[in-house]
A = this chain, B = another copy of it.
Amino acid sequence: MRIEISTIFTGIKAQQLPALIGILSKAKDYAEQANIDQAELLATRLTEDMHPLQWQIQATLQLALRGTMRLAGQEPEDLTIDENGFDAIIARVEQVLAQMEKFSDDVLNQHAIDVFEVPVGPDITMPMTGQEYALKFVLPNFYFHLTTSYNILRMKGVPLGKRDFLGAS
C-alpha cells in the first residue's frame, strides 16, 4: 500500500510547526510575565534523565527538516540550535519551514518505495523504504518530541491548551 508521503510533511508544515511557533511565543510571554529566565525554561527537563526543552525542540525540527531532505534524496544537513532565547528559536522554526518549502511534493513522493539507510542509533542504520521512514520513524518521533516540548512547558506553568498543540487545523 502506497501513500502520498508529502501529505505527512504538508501537515507538519501547515499545522504542527506553526503550532510550535505559537507555543513558543506563549512560553516567551509567560517567562516575561512570571519573571522566569528564558535559559532556565529552555534547560528544563521532565525528569533528570530526559533531554531538556531546547534539545526537544531541536529534535522536532531535525525530524521535519532532515526527514524531508532524506526523502528528497539529499544529504540531510546538520541542524543544531545553539541560539539563546525564544525569539531566536522561533526564527529557527521559521527558517526550517522555509527550507522545507524548497522541496516539492512530487520530489518527496517519487522516493516512497526507494530504500534508505536510516540512522537509528550510534553507528546503527536500518534499511527502510521512504514510506516506512516517513510513517514509522519520522512521524512518531516528530510527535514524541513536539509533545514532550509542550509537556515541559505545561509542567512549568505556561498557559497552553490542546488547541495550541493542534494549531490551525
Report the separation of the CA atoms of residues A147 and B105 in the bound assembly, to the nearest whole angstrom.
28
Interface assignment of A73: CB less than 8 Å from any CB of chain B: no
CB distance from A105 to the nearest CB of B (A): 7
**A7-B1, A15-B136 are contacts. A46–B169 as well, Cβ < 8 Å?**
no
Q: Which residue of B lies closest to A109 (CB)?
A: B1
CB distance from A4 to the nearest CB of B (A): 5
Interface assignment of A62: CB less than 8 Å from any CB of chain B: no
Taking CB atoms and an 8 Å cut-off, the chain A residues in 1-47 that contact chain B are 1-4, 6-7, 10-11, 15-16, 46-47
Of the stretches A76-84, A88-96, A148-156, the one at the interface is A148-156
One complex includes copies of this chain to the number of 2
Report the separation of the CA atoms of residues A16 and B105 in the bound assembly, to the nearest whole angstrom.
27
Q: Which residue of B lies closest to A153 (CB)?
A: B47
A137's partner among B143, B147, B169 (CB-CB below 8 A) is B169
Q: Is the CB of A1 within 8 A of B169?
A: no
> Can you name 12 A-B pairs with beta carbons within 8 Å?
A2-B4, A3-B7, A11-B135, A11-B136, A15-B140, A16-B140, A46-B46, A47-B154, A50-B154, A132-B169, A144-B165, A147-B148
Beyond the given A3-B4, A47-B154, A47-B157, could you list 11 further A-B residue pairs with CB under 8 A, ordered by the A residue number? A2-B4, A11-B135, A11-B139, A16-B140, A46-B155, A50-B151, A139-B143, A143-B144, A147-B148, A147-B151, A151-B151
